[in-house]
């Protein structure tokens, strides 16, 4: 397989992921940004609003509005940060986990089953590639905005 073919396969995956995320968001009655926030909280655990904003590449006011929407749906909770008395941490609620279980958990279980059919070496190769892809995207997000070419 040529390197370009692997990139094309990843692009197909990314398109399918966006479609699935949109589908799951509609079922949970939330938008894509809210789904992304829930995913970050699921992966990282409780985060400060500032840390969540950095992960989502969103300004503070937008993160506050997003968190207000999720809190209104009882999917997140804000609580005092034990490491910083002035700070707040945002975490998932059991309601968020229940709603995610409708669509996200069956897919996660199917992915685990698919990975079980791969050898350890194959899983390590896929994991290494995904880590490199994630690093490429993180580097790009850290770049200052480029001016569009005319």
Q: What is the pLDDT of residue 76?
A: 96
84 contacts 41 by C-beta, under 8 angstroms = no
- List, as one string, the DSSP characters of 74-100: TSEEEEEETTEEEEEEEEE-HHHHHHH
| Pick among 3.30.70.940, 3.50.50.60, 1.10.10.10, 3.30.530.20: CATH of 3-142 | 1.10.10.10
Q: In Å, how far are 3, 41, 107, 129, 139 from 70, measured between CA atoms? A: 40, 12, 23, 33, 29
The tens digit of pLDDT for each residue in 14-51 reads 999 999 999 989 988 999 999 999 999 999 999 999 99
pLDDT confidence tier of residue 149, bands split at 50, 70 and 90: confident
User: Rounded mean pLDDT of the chain?
Assistant: 92
What are the structural domain ranges in the chain?
3-142
Global confidence as pTM: 0.82
Q: At what angle do helices 32-44 and 94-116 cross, to 10 degrees?
A: 70
Longest Cα–Cα distance of the chain, Å, equals: 53
Sorted by sequence, the CB contacts under 8 Å of residue 53 that are 6+ apart come out as 59, 60, 62, 63
């Amino acid at each position: 397989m040529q390197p370009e073919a692997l990139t094309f396969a990843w692009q197909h995956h990314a398109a399918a992921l966006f479609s699935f995320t949109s589908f799951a968001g509609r079922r949970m009655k939330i938008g894509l940004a809210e789904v992304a926030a829930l995913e970050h909280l699921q992966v990282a655990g409780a985060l400060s609003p500032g840390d969540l904003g950095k992960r989502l590449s969103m300004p503070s006011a937008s993160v506050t509005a997003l968190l207000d929407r999720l809190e209104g749906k009882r999917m997140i909770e804000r609580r005092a940060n034990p490491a910083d008395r002035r700070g707040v941490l945002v975490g998932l609620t059991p309601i968020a986990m229940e709603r995610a279980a409708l669509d996200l958990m069956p897919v996660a279980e199917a992915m685990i089953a698919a990975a079980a059919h791969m050898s350890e070496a194959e899983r390590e190769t896929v994991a290494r590639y995904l880590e490199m892809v994630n690093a490429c995207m993180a580097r790009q997000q850290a770049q200052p905005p480029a001016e569009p070419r005319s």
